[in-house]
Structure 1
Amino acid sequence: MHSASAGLEHLLFPELVEGPVTLTNAKGVYSHSLAEYCLTAASWFAKDLPRMRRQQAAANWEPYEVEELRGKTLGIIGYGDIGQACGRLAKAFRMRVVALRRRVELSEEERAAGVVEKIFPPDQLHALMAESDYVVMATPYTPATHRMVDGPAIAAMRPHGVFINLGRGKCVDEPALVEALQSGRIRGAALDVFDTEPLPADSPLWGLDNVLLSPHCADKTKEFQFESLGFFLDNMGCFLAGEPLANVCDKSNGY
């Protein structure tokens, strides 16, 4: 069985998890487009693009100071394929990259790439949040990541911090995030995924000026459609030939 997305939560019914059927997913197909979204979102806040648009609409010539991403810290929650793609692009912007995952040791390949400076274990999430100017959520949804970013974790963020969610909405305590955004406790958020999708019309997120929303389309590119199909066909060829499959998932862990 193959999942056309990287996420598996919609497929992991008990009979599949406990049975012998091999499950693969499309990990890697979406990573670059999601990384582009991450850096676009960071630039949205660093350059205050909403203000540019407001001044343009008002024909208002009023120069103002913007920020550089260079030297800022990107904290990546979930340093898998998507997280690593975000890190590579951030490094191209000369950002500092830290990350959180279960395995804290860097592989030889990761050391040679020189992208990530430090890996935090899951029990140090608050430390990563406090050290980062921009935080990107790039984890799959599993029981272990359910509302992983909760009120205390959000409270650990820097006042100028920006939260970016590319993973799954249910990995975040959305009411706690809304409260932090409404109160100005954090600078802003860029959200492509939500606890309930489509996002209800009465969600307070729609009306917040410090939020960039997109309807779960950060990876909806023409390229991914061809790459996803191509990956499936290549894997099907391996299956028919009795060769090892790519992206075999650990059903018990949910990814």
Structure 2
Amino acid sequence: MHSSSAGLEHLLFPGLVESPVVLTNAKGVYSHSLAEYSLTCCSWFAKDFPRLLAAKADRRWDPYDVEELRGKTMGVVGYGDIGQAAARLARAFRMRVVALRRRAELSEAEQAEGVLSAVYRPDQLGDLMAASDYVVVATPWTPETDKIISRAAIAAMKPSGVLVNVGRGKCVDEEALIEALSEGRIRGAALDVFATEPLPADSPLWGLPNVLLSPHCADRTKEFQFESLERFVENAKLYVEGKELIAVCDKRSGY
């Protein structure tokens, strides 16, 4: 069985989880597009694009100082394929990158690659949030990651911190995030995913000036359908030949 998306929560009913059926997904197909989106969102706040748009609308010449991404810290929550792609792109911007994952040690290959500066364990999420200028949430939704970006985690962020969510909306305590944004306790958020989709018209997120919204389309490139289909065809050939499949999922873990 193959999922054309990276997320699996819509497929993991008990009958499938308990069955011997092998489940594969489109891991890797969407990663670079979501990484590009994540860095675009960081630049949106660093360069204060809303100020540019407002000045243009008013036909007003308004020079101001902008912020560099170079030297800033990106914290990645969910260091799978999407998180790793975002981290590598952030390093190209000369950002410092830290990540949250179960395995705290850097492998020899990771040390040689030089992408990660530090790794935080799940029980150190608050420390990662406090250390990061930009937090990129790239984790899939599972019972373990439900509202992993909790009220306490959001409270740990810097006042200048920005939250970018390209994972799943349910991984963030949306009510707590709205409060923090409304009260100016964090700088802003860029959200491609939401707890309820489509995002209800009465959601306060629509009206917040420090929020960049997109309708769960940051991975919808003109190529993605073809690439996802290619993955399925490639796996079908491997299956017929009795070979190991690509991107086999752990149904119990949810990714």
TM-score, normalised relative to structure 2: 0.99
Q: CA RMSD in A?
A: 0.6
Matched, 1:214 2:238: no
CA deviation digits over 1:34-90, x for unaligned, max 9?
000000000000000011011011110110111000000000001110000000000
Distance 1:40 1:248 in 2: 30
Which residue does the alignment assign to 1:31? Answer: 31
The one-letter code matched in structure 1 to 2:220 is K
Which residue does the alignment assign to 2:73? Answer: 73
The one-letter code matched in structure 2 to 1:58 is D
Displacement of 1:111 in angstroms is 1.6
Distance 1:216 1:135 in 2: 18
Q: Where does 1:12-91 land on structure 2 (aligned, <5 Å)?
A: 12-91=12-91
Matched, 1:3 2:9: no
User: Is the deviation greater in 225-234 or in 147-156?
Assistant: 225-234
Matched, 1:124 2:124: yes
Displacement of 1:110 in angstroms is 1.6
The one-letter code matched in structure 2 to 1:163 is L
Displacement of 1:199 in angstroms is 0.1
The one-letter code matched in structure 1 to 2:241 is A
For the residue of structure 2 that corresponds to 1:43, the secondary structure is helix
User: Is the deviation greater in 221-230 or in 242-251?
Assistant: 221-230
Give the gaps of 5 or more residues in structure 1: none
Count of residues in correspondence between the two structures = 255
Which residue does the alignment assign to 1:205? Answer: 205
For the residue of structure 2 that corresponds to 1:127, the secondary structure is helix
User: Is the deviation greater in 107-116 or in 49-58?
Assistant: 107-116
For the residue of structure 1 that corresponds to 2:223, the secondary structure is helix
The one-letter code matched in structure 1 to 2:208 is L
For the residue of structure 1 that corresponds to 2:11, the secondary structure is coil
Which residue does the alignment assign to 2:247? Answer: 247
Q: Where does 1:50-199 land on structure 2 (aligned, <5 Å)?
A: 50-199=50-199
The one-letter code matched in structure 2 to 1:109 is A
For the residue of structure 2 that corresponds to 1:117, the secondary structure is strand
Distance 2:58 2:48 in 1: 16
Distance 1:107 1:15 in 2: 37
For the residue of structure 2 that corresponds to 1:145, the secondary structure is coil
Which residue does the alignment assign to 1:227? Answer: 227
Displacement of 1:109 in angstroms is 2.1
Distance 1:253 1:62 in 2: 51
User: Is the deviation greater in 19-28 or in 102-111?
Assistant: 102-111
Give the gaps of 5 or more residues in structure 2: none
Distance 1:224 1:172 in 2: 26
